[in-house]
Chains A and B, each alone.
Chain A
Amino acid sequence: MVWDAIRRFFSYEFWSYEGLQNHGVWGAIARVVIVVLPILMLVPGLIWWERRLLSWMQDRIGPNRVGPFGLLQTIADGVKLFLKEDITPTAVDKLIYFTAPALALFPAFALGGTLPWGPNKYLTPIADVNIGILYVLAVSSLGVYGIVLAGYASNNKYSLMGGLRSSAQLISYELAMGMALAGAVLASGSLTMTGMVHFQEGPWLGMVKGVQNWLILTPYGFVAALIFAICAIAETNRAPFDLPEAENELIAGYHTEYSSMKFAVFFMGEYAAMFVFSGIFTAVFCGGYHALPIDWTFAGLPIVDTANSVAAGFIFLGKVAFFFSCFIWLRATLPRLRYDQLMSLGWRSLLPLAVANFMLVGVWIVAADVYKSEMAGLVAYLIGFAVMFGVYLLVKRASADRFEGMENRGVVMNTGVEPVSLLGEV
């Protein structure tokens, strides 16, 4: 039997185009080449884009010397990082020290295969099984290992603190992210990425024909999208949640002891993760590869639909690039959160909000199902929203006296309040 199989492995049919199409494994490898490799190759471009956009936002020039518009700057940096001396401190746990960067890079690329680039068969996710979203949650939860192990293996107090902070942060925000995605899954009734994109092609709120039902345009979807976006920033350790590498407290956090290419691998992992989370956001909340939330077939222009599906990959890429730019925009805008603010935001604000949103989606679906109309769902949703808000106010009032003496740990930004000098009168 084994010999027979080996002979078949070397036969023409196994490697031919037909074999490629029929055999799931070869089709998957083809899609790996089409779908995952570009993410790897985009990373230098993303780094260049971040540096240029950030410098533009901060009123400076940024890298513009190497190549046209400085485009080759990242390549030059990469060559420099390759050729730099790779210092391994003597006191590190060598095995784990060498594995950690690889572990940090792994989740981003493992998630890259889940993005739906278009309706074409070879642009769909590599394995479009009915656990797509759960796979995203599972693999993104592995991202913590690279960082926490790097912090541990470096045998450096600052690195360890960075790693521990990061793991606490990732665990906290994973929950809210999972609940936000659960709301989206409940609304769309599908766990696959393609299924969720397909659901968003339907009429808006199930009622308004001609407008696509992008989840970010629905009330529950908007809340879920907001929570997901915040959690995605926290999961990728980006500003304002970049506490693991807070320079003024922890030098460079978990990658303090990493030099040369090993540091570059961490760097690449971060950018690839940002790209992939932007892609998931696009697919789950923003209609995937559709350019505009308009049902062109209903509007009498099916040709636009065809054009859309032809250019699907580029439209998706454009949307992802937009959300990637939002990451950079946030970095240029917001100051870093304090650690207790981060924890408070994750556990006391986002998680309850996500759970409430999840329940309200359920209320909508049940009401729409019982009364056989989406309008009833909307009304039930609004009533449920009012009830929940009332409960929130009551609980807040009831527990107000308990928190009276305590310091306010919530996140407050841009309230116009004068900063209080800790030094007193100067």
Chain B
Amino acid sequence: MPPTDELAKLTLFGALAGVAALSAVGVVAFGNAVRSALCLIANFFCLAFLYFTLNAELLGITQVIVYTGAIMVLFLFVIMLLNFGSPQFLKEPPDYLRKGIGILFGVVLFGLISSQVLMPLAKVKATTAPDDYGAPQQIGLSLFTTYVWPFEVASILLLIGIVGSIMLAKRKI
């Protein structure tokens, strides 16, 4: 692989991962619910592009369709309809003890995750799947052969969810 490709990939990853991490921080840092939701959207979008760089096109596009295009729109919908009012209204008085404990637990959680997940990954070089690995044909084939049972179970679960939500929302149709 020529070095320019390496650099381009590294730059791309750095940009996408950086924006994803920043927007993930933004989700918790913003005081305004709509802005938090927007940050989450940006995060999902960057994740989708990270999938693209790994040749998992179908996964990336599903991420955009399902999360960015549908679920987050409903999130925004709900936030707007609830109408939380001005951001000042939501702000809590600063509680340094709670923040300190929060940071402590955050560091512990990060250490735990990095020891279990990041350490084994440290030596891994950047890899991409073979060209057709994430193609719709391949995924469709494996969904309807190897993983047909979990696939059908998941679809029945979703169906139950739909029927249940109709039952809860509209007793009399």
Contacts and interface: CB of A to CB of B under 8 A. Distances in A.
Contacts of B24: none
Given A5-B6, A8-B2, A131-B61, A142 B38 contact: no
B69 to A, nearest CB: 3
A148 B58 contact: no
Given A96-B35, A142-B68, A164-B81, A148 B73 contact: yes
A120 interface: no
A66 interface: no
Contacts of A9: 4, 7
Contacts of B2: 8
B136 interface: yes
B3 to A, nearest CB: 4
B135 interface: yes
A357 B105 CA distance: 54
Interface-centre pick from A131, A137, A139, A174 (highest chain B CB count, 10 A): A131
A97 B62 CA distance: 28
Interface string A80-107: 0000000000000101100000000000
B34 A134 contact: no
A145 B41 contact: yes
Interface-centre pick from B4, B7, B68, B77 (highest chain A CB count, 10 A): B4
Contacts of A6: 7
Interface string B65-76: 100111001101
Nearest to A152: B80
B80 A131 contact: no
B69 A174 contact: yes
Contacts of A164: 77, 80-81
Nearest to A189: B137
Interface string A135-167: 101110110110011001000000010011001
Interface in A24-59: 25
B23 to A, nearest CB: 13
Interface in A163-198: 163-164, 167-168, 170-171, 174, 191
A174 B73 CA distance: 13
Contacts of A5: 3-4, 6-7
A361 to B, nearest CB: 16
Interface residues of A, number: 36
A287 B69 CA distance: 29
A407 to B, nearest CB: 16
Give the size category of B's interface with A: 20 to 34
A152 B77 CA distance: 10
B8 interface: yes
B134 to A, nearest CB: 9
Contacts of B70: 141, 171, 174
Contacts of B35: 95-96
Contacts of B73: 141, 144-145, 148, 167, 170-171
Contact of A8 (B4, B68, B135): B4
B169 to A, nearest CB: 15
Contact of B137 (A93, A130, A138, A144): A130
Nearest to B62: A134
Given A1-B6, A130-B135, A131-B136, A138 B64 contact: yes
Contacts of B64: 138-139, 141-142
A96 B34 contact: yes
A164 B83 CA distance: 13
A93 B6 contact: no
Contact of B65 (A25, A93, A129, A134): A134
Given A1-B7, A141-B65, A149-B76, 6 more contacts: A131-B61, A138-B69, A141-B70, A164-B81, A171-B73, A191-B136
Interface of A: 1-2, 4-6, 8-9, 14, 25, 93, 95-96, 129-131, 134-135, 137-139, 141-142, 144-145, 148-149, 152, 160, 163-164, 167-168, 170-171, 174, 191
9 contacts: A1-B7, A5-B7, A130-B57, A134-B62, A137-B69, A139-B64, A148-B76, A148-B77, A152-B80
Interface of B: 2-4, 6-8, 32, 34-35, 38, 41, 57-58, 61-62, 64-65, 68-70, 73-74, 76-77, 80-81, 135-137
